[in-house]
Amino acid sequence: MALDENMVIPGHVALILDGNGRWAKKRGLPRTMGHKEGCVTVEKTVEIAARMGIRYLTVYGFSTENWKRSAEEVGALMQLFRYYMVRLLKIASANNVRVRMIGDRSRFAPDIIEGINRLERETADNTGLTFVIAVNYGGRDEILRAARAYALDCVEGRADPNHLTQENFSGYLFSRGVPDPDLIIRPSGELRLSNFLLWESAYAEFYFTDVLWPDFSKAELLRAIASYQSRAR
């Protein structure tokens, strides 16, 4: 499927990266191989999105619930994260991509935290696509943290609860400064948000596909955008 020059490209596309484990199981491979292949798909998608003119691309990389997986799988995911942060820095530099992480990074090992900080720092002046990675992220956790921060500001006199607006509250979220997603895509056949961008997705369009994340392609992204374009906004 080719890019139609008349296609309306959404400004912000968000992706729930689902299906890595099932992709590996179908091939008789360990789950970690599915996650590794999923990272390759992320790389390709970042480059494709940057060339298409998408301004913001957010991916659900690691949720607050993912810590409940086996210690072996979580450990393997952390090692993959370390490896791909280095690769992502090269990809971002080559494609003028700015990288931003949202979520509670404090639970990660110090070297991973430093890697996240380095990614953000060294890509901060890039002016193309903003690539947002949600790590140790959960929508409910984000809203609770924002509510606590706002309540503290009220107690300490920095905010007035009688003048709270949606815009004010958004400034307390992990995603502050990032526009709400226009289109949320979930592969793998599941039909739920899974605690992803709960506040931000209030007016987003959704696209669900049976394609497993490692098999997600430019053609599938174009199908999602074509579906988005066909809806009355």
* Residue in the block written with tokens 């174009």: 222
CA distance 41 to 80: 14
Residue 215 known to be catalytic: no
CB of 112 closer than 8 Å to CB of 82: yes
- Range 22-26, long-range pairs (CB < 8 A, 24+ positions): 22/188, 22/212, 23/212, 23/213, 23/214, 23/215, 26/212
Residue 26's CB is within 10 A of a number of other CB atoms, namely: 11
Residue 18 known to be catalytic: yes
Q: Which amino acid is at 208?
A: F
From 4, 6, 20, 66, active-site residue: 66
CA distance 34 to 32: 5
Which residues are identified as catalytic? 18, 66
